[in-house]
Amino acid sequence: MPDSNDKILQVASAVAASFVKNYKCSLHEATEFFYNNLVRDTSITKLIENAASEKQLSKNSTFKNFVKQHKKELYYKLRQYKGNDASKSGLMQALQLAQNDPSEASRQALLQSIAAFHVSSQERLAQNELFYRHLSQLMPDVHSIVDVGCGVQPLLFPQENFPAMEKYLALDKDKESIWLLDAVKNIFKDRYRWLFPKAWNIGEGWKDVCHEHGLADFDLALILKVVPVVKRTSPVLLEQLAAIPAKTIVISGVKESMVKKQDIERKERKAIDRFIKDSGRNAIAEFELDNEFFIIVR
């Protein structure tokens, strides 16, 4: 006869296995999540102990609600762009190391933990070189860039491939990402002279941003993986976003969902196409990476 703990682990494994069929999560992480939540809930552990079989347990409404609620909780946890406390503390250590030894080797190590901390950058990390090659072919002489909803991606920008670049304005409402950009810029001042991070919300508009930098408009705007997010979370801001003062815009969307094993390219394209149409601009070209498509707009 399995003891109570074995039974709980068995149930946690079964729930985890059904979760990972549809979501991008390791079986180990999911099992640990469900197990930790099961052992914390005495009414559920009693149900598990007294259940005659897994089949009987799976029909119990209290158990069914528990599973539904916790699958949702794990889904929302996975949907966070930024890493958990463990990856945060790894990142703080890497920052400290870079502060003590501001060499190119420690900057490269730091960039790995920074990218690992933000899912959007992590997803394209392996293809960064290709991404920036496309960008430099498109705009070899770019002087000014505004990156809206930038996350931590600006830290990975290879300025050496854009010799004319003077100003790269990195805007995001997420204060932690902006804090990180500032912290890295302060350690590697010469390397990031061109980078200007700012905590800013689309709702604040463009006037102050342009005024601060003495620019009427930017050569290039990057709106990477942002249009579908804003459409979902604050659709009223899309009009303001579309008024971005830039000669050329590169807008991206993803092909596969960040969390679900689901193809969402059609849905993302629909949102972006609508955005372009409403902005009164035209799509002039496209390129793509494994899990991201980019539309160039003028």
Binding site for ligand SAM (CB under 6 A): 81, 120-121, 149-151, 153, 172-174, 177, 201-202, 224-226, 229-230, 234, 237
Q: How far is the CB of 124 from ligand SAM (least distance, A)?
A: 7
Residue with token string 């950058």:
121
State in angstroms the smallest separation of the CB of 10 from ligand SAM: 37
Name the minimum Å distance from CB 94 to ligand SAM: 19
- Say if residues 145 and 168 touch (Cβ distance below 8 Å): yes
CA gap 133, 139 in Å, rounded: 10
Sign of CA dihedral 237, 242, 247, 252: positive
For residue 276, give both structure tokens: 């372009």
Nearer to ligand SAM, 97 or 156 (CB): 156
Nearer to ligand SAM, 6 or 129 (CB): 129
The CB-of-150 to ligand SAM minimum distance in angstroms stands at: 5
Nearer of residues 142 and 178 to ligand SAM, judged by Cβ: 178
Choice between 41 and 265, CB closer to ligand SAM: 265
Number of helices followed by number of strands (H, E) in the chain: 14, 7
Pick between residue 113 and residue 153 the one whose CB is nearest to ligand SAM. Answer: 153
Of 16 and 149, nearer to ligand SAM (C-beta) is 149
Min dist. Cβ of residue 194 to ligand SAM (A): 18
How near is the Cβ of 125 to ligand SAM at its closest, in Å?
10
Q: Residue type for 79, please?
A: R
Residues whose CB falls within 8 Å of the CB of residue 54, separated by 6 or more in sequence, listed in order: 10, 11, 14
Q: How far is the CB of 156 from ligand SAM (least distance, A)?
A: 9
Tokens of 216: 């009427």
Residue number with the shortest CB distance to ligand SAM?
149
Q: Residue 247 corresponds to which tokens in the numbers above? A: 């000669």
- Pick between residue 51 and residue 199 the one whose CB is nearest to ligand SAM: 199
Q: Which of 8, 57, 62, 54 is nearest to 35 (CA)?
A: 8
Which residues 6+ apart lie within 8 Å of 264 measured at CB?
A: 254, 255, 256, 257
Number of Cβ atoms within 10 Å of the Cβ of 1: 4
